Amino acid sequence: MAGRTGRRLAVRLLIGLALFLVAVGLAAAFLGPRLPFGGDRVAVIPIEGVITDARDVIEQLSRYRDLSSVKAVVLRINSPGGAVAPSQEIYQEILKFRRETGKPVVASLGSVAASGGYYIAAAADRIVANPGSITGSIGVILQIPNIGGLLQKVGIKTTVIKAGENKDLGSITRDLTDAERQILQGVMDDVHGQFIEAVATARRLDRARVEPLADGRIFSGRQALGLGLVDELGDLPDAILRAGKLVGIAGRPKVIQERRRRFSLWDLVTESLGPILPAGGTTPTITIQYLWQ
C-alpha cells in the first residue's frame, strides 16, 4: 500500500513539474529570453520592414499596457513606411497608450525610419535617432502601372462593365484620364495634409514650420535634430536609457522583448510585394503609401 501511494505521489509530482515547465516555456516563447520577474522593465517593440498591417504592434502595446513591471516602451523602428491606414492606426494607438497608461514611449530610429516609419515615431514622447538614420520623407506616393501594352502583345483583352463613371479609377490596363488624375491628386493632397497635421500635432510644431519640410525629401538624423523632427542623437541603448530615466529607473534598465518569429519565405514574398498588397490580403491592388522608395 505504501509503495502504491509513493508511486501516485511521484506521478503527481512529475505532472506538476511538467505543467510548470510548459508554463515557463510558453512565457519564454512570448517574452523571449528576458522574463519580467522582479524589477521595473522597459519593453522594446520592433517595427521593421514595409508597414502593411498594424495588428502585431497594437497587440504588443495591449499586452504591455497591463503588465505592471513594464514602466516604459521603446519602439525600435527600421522601416521605410508603407500603407497609410496601418501607419495611422499605430500612431493613434501609441497616443492612446500614452494617454491611458501614463507610460512614456520613446522611438529609436534605426537605419531607416522614413515616411510611415516617421509618422509612427512622431507619436512618441521622444525620438532618438542615429546621426546617419534616414528619416523624414513626409509625403505620399501612388504608383499605377500600365500593363495594357503587355496584354495586347500576348493577345489578352479586358472587358470592364461598371456602374459609376469612376468605378475603374486606377485601372492598370489603360492610362488615366485628366479627370481621373485630378480626382486622385485631390485624394493624395488630403492624405498628405493628414500626415503634416499628425506631425505638427504630435511634435507640437506649427503647421507652417512643418509644411516646408513635407515635400517628400529625406533627412539624416543629424539634420532632423536641427529641424526639430527628432529630440536627440543616439542608438537603441541610448533610447532604452532615456526611457528608463523618464520613469526614474536608476542605471541601465532591464529590457523585455518578445521573441522574434522566424523569417519565412512567405515573409520575403510579402515584404517584396508590400507596396502592392493590401493589409492582410494577397490580391494585388493600388494603394496610397506613406513610403520612401
Kindly report, residue by residue over 180-233, the tens digit of the pLDDT. Answer: 999 999 999 999 999 999 999 999 999 999 999 999 999 999 999 999 999 999
Q: CA 114 → CA 39, 102, 251, 281, 293, distances in Å?
A: 34, 27, 31, 24, 10
The whole-number average pLDDT for the span 152-174 is 90
Give the three-state DSSP class for 81: strand
Q: Which one is catalytic: 79, 108, 115, 133?
A: 115
Say which CATH superfamily domain 34-291 falls into: 2-enoyl-CoA Hydratase; Chain A, domain 1 (3.90.226.10)
Least confident of 69-73, 242-246, 281-285: 281-285
Residue range 218-260, pLDDT digits in tens:
999 999 999 999 999 999 999 999 999 999 999 999 999 987 6
d(CA 164, CA 157): 21
d(CA 222, CA 134): 10
Which contacts of 274-280 are long-range, i.e. CB under 8 A and separated by 24 or more positions?
A: 274/49, 274/50, 274/51, 274/52, 274/82, 275/50, 275/82, 275/143, 277/52, 278/52, 278/83, 279/52, 279/53, 279/54, 279/83, 279/85, 279/86, 280/52, 280/53
3-state helix, strand and coil shares in percent for the chain, rounded to the nearest 5: 45, 15, 40
- The mean of the pLDDT values for the chain is 87
Q: Which one is catalytic: 111, 162, 167, 272?
A: 167
Active-site residue flag, 115: yes
Active-site residue flag, 220: no
User: What φ, ψ does residue 98 adopt, rounded to 5°?
Assistant: -60, -45
pLDDT of residue 148: 85
